[in-house]
Structure 1
Amino acid sequence: MARHLHLLRLLCLAVVVTAARAMFHFNFGNDLGHPFGGSSYTRHEIWRRAALASKARVARQTARLGKVLGKSGDISAADVTISPYADQGHWLTVGIGTPPQPSKLIIDIGSGLTWTQCKLLSPMARQLEPLYDPGKSSSFSLLPCSSKQCQEAVFTNKSCTNNKCLYENDYGSNVKASGVLASETFTFGVHRNVSLSALAFGCGKLSSGSIAGASGIMGLSPSPLSLITQLSIPRFSYCFTPFAERKTSPLMFGAKADLSKYKTAGPIQTISILRNPVEDIYYYVPLVGLSLGTKRLDVPAASLALKPDGTGGTVVDSGTTMANLVEPAFKELKKAVLETVKLPVANRTVEEYQLCFALPRGVSMDKVQTPPLRLHFDGGAEMVLPRDNFFQEPSPELMCLAVVQTPDSFAPSVIGNVQQQNMHVLYDVGNRKFSFAPTQCDQL
């Protein structure tokens, strides 16, 4: 437990507020744990597990989005192997309750509700910390069905029993989370801590699937029950260190989330965060084109655009390691990569990758030069991805494109966490702006 409490460190004065009634400045910074930090997996094994988790996550998100959009899609439980949730994203340990009980939560900007496994519901999934016990907290309170949080919340299923707001979220691929809505005090930090009372959260369980030792999810999406929305946090930022290095990554909220305060390796660029007219699960950005090196690919901007019916578009995600592109964009990129990379296409298939090259015997991917992948945004901004941000080495002598085609025609393209590595990104939620700058993240 001492290790987890150490991870709660925070350089901020102690403050206690009631989130539902008070306005305050939540200026918080801490290091996120790596999905594979402390594991004994090799670099190749990390990439394979991450790719599997990425495919499973996209399937879950697409299935969930399809239900919101009224589209069934082509994804079924048989399509994707269930993958541990913790293989997909970075994590932070927080204290829940009074006194605080440590809980390891996966940071997810594609989820709204923050929830933890709760003794009240006899969870099935195993976790590292002791199970959160609301009976040992003086600040725990169930939210009635008439509460604003229960009324506004959108779940796969929602019901009211004995004035308890019960929910169930189906993420596809046989992964389900259920629980009861409640309010509780959350503590960030231990020596100089910030305690936030009356935060709505899920006291629940993962009914099926796995979160690989984590306790739950911290939702940072634009939706009503996310930590960002409940606390009216104007902006937040993170800087993911290279995935294969298994280092911690900085996460900042409020005044600490300011790219101009930190050293960058390139210019700070800013684009708009788009609003989906149908759902509030994701942060959408205006991707309009792609280039490989200096060659602009023949990708129609309309194929990347967010449609009036809420389909398509491009989202930024914290938990997906593989980039996803709609069919026209992926086909053009695959064609350009085949023309550019002077290596034989691998004659063996690798699960989860759609294009791989055979490396010469005894040669690693580090020795292969490739032009950068450039993401062009409306207004002229350009995110430049070096080789390690769009290629991976899942097996010795094998180099694979870390970009795949979206699983369904209505699904958005996805800029994942590996594409964002060594990139300091900022979500200015209040002004609906997304900023980014190349940065040596382990030096922040």
Structure 2
Amino acid sequence: METTTPLLLVGVLLLAAPLLGSSAAVGAEEDGFSVEFIHRDSVKSPFHDPALTPHGRALAAARRSAARAAELHHLLARRSSGAPSPGTGAGVVAEVVSRQFEYLMAIEVGTPPVRVLAIADTGSDLVWVKCKGKDNDNNSNSTFFSDSDDGEDSPPPSDEDSTPPPSDDSGDAPAPSADDTPAPPSVYFVPSASSTYGRVGCDTKACRALSSAASCSPDGSCEYLYSYGDGSRASGQLSTETFTFSTIADSSKTNSHGNNNNNSSSHGQVEIAKLDFGCSTTTTGTFRADGLVGLGGGPVSLASQLGATTSLGRKFSYCLAPYANTNASSALNFGSRAVVSEPGAASTPLITGEVETYYTIALDSINVAGTKRPTTAAQAQPKYYKSKARGSGSSSSNSIIVDSGTTLTYLDSALLTPLVKDLTRRIKLPRAESPEKILDLCYDISGVRGEDALGIPDVTLVLGGGGEVTLKPDNTFVVVQEGVLCLALVATSERQSVSILGNIAQQNLHVGYDLEKGTVTFAAADCAKSHPYGEADV
């Protein structure tokens, strides 16, 4: 893949194995199941900072987005050039995308179960949790996902992290530069305390799937070393265990108020036995949770394992509630619940990418239909911006990755520049100075009341195969300072050439991935109602 090729990343995955119906999960294989998808700024997240304003949270998310996008660029550039991943003195490592996470999910590991709040990462495949036992008590004081280095050198900060935050005259507290929120207390899984724990041997499909990340211990068990884009690392034993997921009600069976009409099925548990996962006995660097659930497209992901071992199939979906509503939860769905069937659903084929972890699709063009006009007025003809070809012999499309872990949307400048020119011509608001260097187009909305008064047109993405996804103003603009609204679409660059469809653009869209059919499907939805307890009790 050319390193200058724009990509659009849709990351979503988990690791799993045989599904065992518990008494509370009757019919799970027929109906599928859903788990709560928690934004890091939600009141349900341990990283929620009540002192931070919505504008401060938006700026912090933009900075995390820049750091994550840069890591994706460097990773794909190395893969494309054939350059090896940086070594650590312990052999070859598998480098994946790192700590710039946006969503969390709760999992319960072992028998009896230990509850872990893990990062849901669309940029990697392996599911792993922090482990502690007799053989690694020396790590009992490690603070995985904190600034402690467990006795090893911490990686230097990235350029994005070291850039001081710009001044903010709005009166808001300064936004964190990238990830300054204090880490919650650590939770460790102790293998010896579980009756269902087992290790995975070297000569297994799961171990081979880890490729260069895996090595064989003297006793024949499979070990791994994962290195992340910011230099953080996790290593340990590839293992099997029973994972339990707290399932939530099927949103299609809820009433207009989001209440489930069948109280007996409003919640329950789904057990997945013999799930392949990493039992990480050593973690270093900057990660800030108790584990990581890989949501990529590789063979050890949850969707892949569910498809191989149950009747749920290799499909999943999510519906992202607007993150500005910190009381709302989103949903992550598997099996039949992952089918996107809302009116106007548009599907597009997956494209084989440089790294199978990422979900790559084609973006053919962008349509700006124009602002709303009275029905008596002449309709403005949609204006299309055709995306450039990837290279000789390719179709006239950008290959793009859709990623729930990146906040902003990144587009090639050849596609974005004419779009911005058209938006500035159509939007009649006064311009404002941007409080963040990566956000170029900002408006003063201090005197505007109501979204319709903004006069921001819808933007439609025309995908490979002809499907269209309409982005509302809330998908393309974000308030980053009191009275200041900025475009959440930014241009790729030489330092960051990967095109990414970020999570702001995906808010209030039901996004489904069918790995068997090789498609991604989008449909407009009210995602705050996709979780039956969408509003937290605060």
Quick check: TM above 0.5?
yes
Tell whether the 8 Å contact from 1:364 to 1:397 is kept in structure 2 after alignment. Answer: no
Q: Residues 93 and 43 (structure 1 numbering): CA distance in 2 closer, same or farther, change over 3 Å?
A: same
1:335 paired with 2:421, answer: yes
Tell whether the 8 Å contact from 1:305 to 1:314 is kept in structure 2 after alignment. Answer: no
Q: CA deviation at 1:164?
A: 4.0
Distance 1:13 1:344 in 2: 58
Equivalence for 1:300? 387
The aligned amino acid for 1:250 is A
Tell whether the 8 Å contact from 1:34 to 1:90 is kept in structure 2 after alignment. Answer: yes
Distance 2:65 2:206 in 1: 30
Q: Deviations over 1:377-414 (max 9, x none)?
A: 12321111011101111111222111122354884421
Q: Residues 84 and 166 (structure 1 numbering): CA distance in 2 closer, same or farther, change over 3 Å?
A: closer
1:116 paired with 2:139, answer: no
Distance 1:84 1:169 in 2: 10
SS of equivalent residue, structure 2 residue 195? coil
The aligned amino acid for 1:196 is I
Which one of 159, 177, 186 corresponds to residue 215 of structure 2? 159
Equivalence for 2:78? 67
Which one of 439, 442, 458 corresponds to residue 357 of structure 1? 442
Q: Residues 411 and 186 (structure 1 numbering): CA distance in 2 closer, same or farther, change over 3 Å?
A: farther
Distance 1:344 1:72 in 2: 47
Tell whether the 8 Å contact from 1:98 to 1:185 is kept in structure 2 after alignment. Answer: yes
Q: Residues 84 and 167 (structure 1 numbering): CA distance in 2 closer, same or farther, change over 3 Å?
A: closer
Distance 1:360 1:127 in 2: 37
1:89 paired with 2:170, answer: no
Which is further off, 220-229 or 231-240? Answer: 231-240
Tell whether the 8 Å contact from 1:176 to 1:208 is kept in structure 2 after alignment. Answer: yes
Q: What are the ranges of 5 or more consecutive residues in structure 2 without an aligned counterpart?
A: 1-19, 85-96, 145-182, 248-266, 308-312, 371-381, 531-538
Q: Deviations over 1:341-387 (max 9, x none)?
A: 33444345514x33132415455784522101110012321111011
Distance 1:303 1:228 in 2: 29
Q: CA deviation at 1:96?
A: 0.5
Q: CA deviation at 1:141?
A: 1.9
Q: Deviations over 1:77-109 (max 9, x none)?
A: xxxxxx994x63222211111111001122233
Distance 1:316 1:327 in 2: 18
Q: Residues 36 and 348 (structure 1 numbering): CA distance in 2 closer, same or farther, change over 3 Å?
A: closer
Q: Deviations over 1:249-302 (max 9, x none)?
A: 122110222333xxx4x41222212222x4202111221111223543433341
1:207 paired with 2:284, answer: yes
Tell whether the 8 Å contact from 1:304 to 1:413 is kept in structure 2 after alignment. Answer: no
Q: CA deviation at 1:34?
A: 2.3
RMSD: 3.2
Which is further off, 293-302 or 372-381? Answer: 293-302
1:106 paired with 2:119, answer: yes
Distance 1:26 1:389 in 2: 31
SS of equivalent residue, structure 1 residue 313? strand
Distance 1:227 1:337 in 2: 40
Q: CA deviation at 1:335?
A: 2.6
Q: Residues 306 and 119 (structure 1 numbering): CA distance in 2 closer, same or farther, change over 3 Å?
A: farther
Distance 2:322 2:440 in 1: 22
Equivalence for 1:390? 476
Distance 1:238 1:274 in 2: 20
Q: Residues 196 and 90 (structure 1 numbering): CA distance in 2 closer, same or farther, change over 3 Å?
A: same
Distance 1:142 1:25 in 2: 30
Tell whether the 8 Å contact from 1:111 to 1:221 is kept in structure 2 after alignment. Answer: yes
Give the TM-score, by structure 1 length: 0.82
Q: Deviations over 1:150-199 (max 9, x none)?
A: 222145x4433333433233332333333332111111138842221221
Give the TM-score, by structure 2 length: 0.68
Equivalence for 1:273? 350
Tell whether the 8 Å contact from 1:286 to 1:378 is kept in structure 2 after alignment. Answer: yes
Q: CA deviation at 1:63?
A: 2.6
1:417 paired with 2:474, answer: no
The aligned amino acid for 1:244 is A
Distance 1:285 1:442 in 2: 26
Equivalence for 2:411? 325
Q: How many residues align?
A: 406
Q: Residues 372 and 360 (structure 1 numbering): CA distance in 2 closer, same or farther, change over 3 Å?
A: closer
Which is further off, 419-428 or 111-120? Answer: 111-120
Distance 2:64 2:392 in 1: 26
Q: CA deviation at 1:223?
A: 0.2
SS of equivalent residue, structure 1 residue 195? strand
Distance 1:299 1:340 in 2: 19
The aligned amino acid for 2:61 is A
Q: Deviations over 1:222-250 (max 9, x none)?
A: 10111111221321111111121121012
Equivalence for 2:319? 239
SS of equivalent residue, structure 1 residue 243? coil
Q: Residues 409 and 208 (structure 1 numbering): CA distance in 2 closer, same or farther, change over 3 Å?
A: closer
Distance 1:306 1:166 in 2: 42
1:251 paired with 2:332, answer: yes
The aligned amino acid for 1:138 is S
Q: CA deviation at 1:139?
A: 1.7
Distance 2:523 2:39 in 1: 21
Q: Residues 28 and 348 (structure 1 numbering): CA distance in 2 closer, same or farther, change over 3 Å?
A: closer
Equivalence for 2:195? 138
Distance 1:282 1:306 in 2: 23
Distance 2:475 2:465 in 1: 23
Question: Greater relative contact order: 1 or 2 (C-alpha under 8 angstroms, separation 6 or more)?
Answer: 2
Distance 2:61 2:468 in 1: 26
Equivalence for 1:34? 39
Q: Residues 135 and 236 (structure 1 numbering): CA distance in 2 closer, same or farther, change over 3 Å?
A: same
Distance 2:346 2:42 in 1: 31
Q: CA deviation at 1:129?
A: 5.6
Which one of 438, 456, 461 corresponds to residue 370 of structure 1? 456
